[in-house]
Structure 1
Amino acid sequence: MKIIGVETFLVPPRWLFCRVETDDGLVGWGEPVVEGRAETTRAAVEEVSELLLGEDPRRVEDLWQTMTKAAFYRGGPVLSSAVAGLDQALWDILGKSLGVPVHQLLGGAVRDRVRVYGWVGGDEPGEVGEAAAAQVAAGLTAVKINASGRVGPSPTSREIDEIVRRVATVREAVGDGNDFAVDFHGRIGVAAARRLVPLLEPYRPLFVEEPVLPEYTHRLGDVVAATVTPVACGERLFSRTDFLPALQAGIAVAQPDLSHAGGISEVRRIASLAETFGALLAPHCPLGPLSLAASLQVAFATPNFLIQEQSIGIHYNEGAEVLDYVTDRAPLAFVHGSIERWDAPGLGIEIDESAVRAADRVGHRWRPPVWRHPDGGHAEW
């Protein structure tokens, strides 16, 4: 079996898919994208795919090593994301060639279902509470909220109070029988995180995510030491070596993204590394169906898994939805807040290729917003 072609598709609302074809007709799909840099990642996929043409797609590990190490300059979000999507496609082909799901190739299932959570939008506490309650009513048992909107590295007393009110409102809305997580998006500084995160403890968030920017991973230990709330991070970390200092700092939850951190191959290793530190895996995934399917395959086979992010119905998906590009939505249905394990081969979902090709003809130019503080300075989004 040989790889004879690699194609990429720019699909709304903000995703990039890749299609790897073999000479015996098997096709594998993956999702390599950096949100807001999809065109750049597309160019990287086309460049890296030169290493795959004519090769046996079933040699997944060898091809991963080649894609990540065959150039003098390595790593970074764009290259790691390009490799991630191609790696997903290779695992998809391997599973299909053997007639088994990817989780079977990773050692077999360790659970029958994967608990998932959804994002909640809204700027005011009341709006956030209503949106959280709606997600619970829709069948989820966990949600995630932004801690705040635009905020500086040292929030004012009023801003701190607003963050605490948002969190309190969401706890009241979801009740004690459900969970919520709080994402800071790296918007506050280390000192502010040490002061603010402990104030959220009475509301028992499942975890607080990215309280500080990844540039300050060397200071994460100070934040962890200041609170009993589990600290999570990892959506902007792309390898085992990136995760090591965060784990050494004491994070409780590792959040690699299957479309950023080298794909199934590397995230599986990140999970094993996290296990040696007693940390749990909760893959980041505000993306499309292929990234979600790859995440679920890892979750089915990973002992130290906690919960899976997914973006079905997320507030900033405009023009297309996660399930628009699959022929059968049933595998990704929520059942009591979880997605049930399935045994279809490969990644286990069927992509609607005609819909993907039609979407690519439209394309997208999604960019994150550029925020400014009242004084005109740059604000973290």
Structure 2
Amino acid sequence: MKITALRTYLVEPRWLFLKVETDEGISGWGEPVVEGRAETVRAAVAELADQLVGQDPGRIEDHWQVLSKGGFYRGGPVLASAVAGIDQALWDIKGKALGVPVHELLGGAVRDRMRVYSWIAGDEPTAAAEHAAKRMAEGFTAVKMNACGRMRALESPAAVHEVVDRVAAVREQIGPDRDVALDFHGRVSPAVARVLLRELEPLHPLFVEEPVVPELSGELPRLCAGTTIPIATGERLYSRWDFRDVLAAGIAVAQPDLSHAGGISETRRIAAQAELHGVSLAPHCPLGPIALAASLQVDFTSPNALIQETSLGIHYNQGSDVLDYLVDTAVFGYADGHVPRPTGPGLGIEIDEQAVAAAAERGHRWRNPVWRNPDGSFTEW
């Protein structure tokens, strides 16, 4: 079997899909994208295609090594994301060629179902609580929410209380036997993070995600040591080398993104690396159905997998959602807060190619917001 072509599709709301074709008619799908930089990653995939066309798709590890290290300049979100989508597609081909799910090729399933969580919105406590109740009615037992909006380097008691009040409203709504996770999104300074973590402890979040930006990962040991709340991070780390010091910092949950951190191959290694430190795995995935399918394949073969993010109904998904590009949506059927083990070959999903082609004709040019403080200075989004 030989690879004949790599075709990319810009599809709403902010995704990039990849189809890798072979001379035996078996195709694999991947999702290589950096949100807001989809065209850049698309160009990187086109460059990497020169190394793949005419090659055996089954040599996944060799391709990963060459694509990741074969250029003199390595790493970073664009290259790692391009490799990630290609890697997903190659595993999809391998599984389809052998007639088994990818997790069977990774050693077999270690669980029968995987816990999942979904996002909630709402700037006011009442709105956030109502959205949480809606998610519970939809079958989820855990939700995640943005903890805050724009934050200054040092904040007022009122701003701190606003964060706590919103989380408290959600906690009261869902009760003590369900979970709420908080995403700080790197929006706060280490000083404000310490204050918020202290004030949020009585509400027992499942975890607090990205309390500081990756550039300040050196602050994680102090933050982890100063709170009882489990700390999670990793969506903006792209390799096992990026995770090395972070895992030793005392975090509780590693969150590599299957579309950014080198795909199935590298995330599988990061998961094992996390297990060495007693750290759980919760793949980051505010993306589309291919990224979610790839994440689940790793979840089902990773003993330390804790919970899986899904972007179903997330506020980014305007115009299209996770299920819109699938032939059979039952593969992501949520019940009692879990999704069943995928049994189809490859990634376990069938892409609706007509829907993808139609969406690609429209394309997209999604960009993340740029936020500024009241004084006009830049602040983290």
Q: TM-score, normalised by structure 1?
A: 0.99
How far apart are the structure 2 equivalents of 1:173 and 1:154? 30
SS at match of 1:301: coil
Give % identity.
63
SS at match of 2:177: coil
Counterpart of 1:174? Answer: 174
Counterpart of 1:364? Answer: 364
How far apart are the structure 2 equivalents of 1:124 and 1:349? 37
1:67-216 correspondence to structure 2 within 5 Å: 67-216=67-216
How far apart are the structure 2 equivalents of 1:348 and 1:206? 29
Counterpart of 2:345? Answer: 345
Counterpart of 1:289? Answer: 289
1:239-278 correspondence to structure 2 within 5 Å: 239-278=239-278
SS at match of 2:119: strand
How far apart are the structure 1 equivalents of 2:152 and 2:271? 33
- 1:91-115 CA deviation, whole Å, 9 max, x = no partner? 0000001000000001000000010
Contact 1:153 1:187 in 2 (8 A): no
Counterpart of 1:328? Answer: 328
State the shift of 1:245 in Å.
Answer: 1.1
Letter of the 2:60 partner, please give it: V
Can you give the 5+ residue segments of structure 2 that lack an aligned partner in the other structure?
Answer: none
State the shift of 1:151 in Å.
Answer: 1.4
Question: Superposition RMSD on alpha carbons, in Å?
Answer: 0.7
Letter of the 2:240 partner, please give it: R
- 1:180-204 CA deviation, whole Å, 9 max, x = no partner? 1000000111122122212111111
- 1:65-111 CA deviation, whole Å, 9 max, x = no partner? 01101100000000000000000000000000100000000100000
Can you give the 5+ residue segments of structure 1 that lack an aligned partner in the other structure?
Answer: none
- 1:295-314 CA deviation, whole Å, 9 max, x = no partner? 00000110000000001111
State the shift of 1:155 in Å.
Answer: 2.0
Contact 1:155 1:188 in 2 (8 A): no
State the shift of 1:18 in Å.
Answer: 0.2
Counterpart of 1:319? Answer: 319
SS at match of 1:34: coil
- 1:39-88 CA deviation, whole Å, 9 max, x = no partner? 11110111111111111001100000011011000000000000000000
How far apart are the structure 2 equivalents of 1:110 and 1:13? 33
Counterpart of 2:223? Answer: 223
Letter of the 1:88 partner, please give it: Q
Contact 1:194 1:222 in 2 (8 A): no
State the shift of 1:371 in Å.
Answer: 0.9
How far apart are the structure 2 equivalents of 1:169 and 1:120? 13
Matched, 1:355 2:355: yes
Contact 1:103 1:298 in 2 (8 A): yes
How far apart are the structure 2 equivalents of 1:370 and 1:236? 18
Contact 1:101 1:346 in 2 (8 A): yes
- 1:206-259 CA deviation, whole Å, 9 max, x = no partner? 000000000001111111011011000000000001111111111000000000
State the shift of 1:153 in Å.
Answer: 2.7
Contact 1:93 1:346 in 2 (8 A): yes
- 1:303-355 CA deviation, whole Å, 9 max, x = no partner? 00000000111122101111110000001110111100121100000000111
How far apart are the structure 2 equivalents of 1:137 and 1:343? 27
Contact 1:85 1:263 in 2 (8 A): yes
How far apart are the structure 2 equivalents of 1:123 and 1:168? 13
Q: Which runs of 4+ in 1 moved over 3 A?
A: none
Contact 1:221 1:249 in 2 (8 A): yes
How far apart are the structure 1 equivalents of 2:153 and 2:96? 48
Instruction: Tell me the matched-pair count.
Output: 381
- 1:147-197 CA deviation, whole Å, 9 max, x = no partner? 111112322211101111111111011111210100000011112212221
Contact 1:371 1:380 in 2 (8 A): yes
Q: TM-score, normalised by structure 2?
A: 0.99
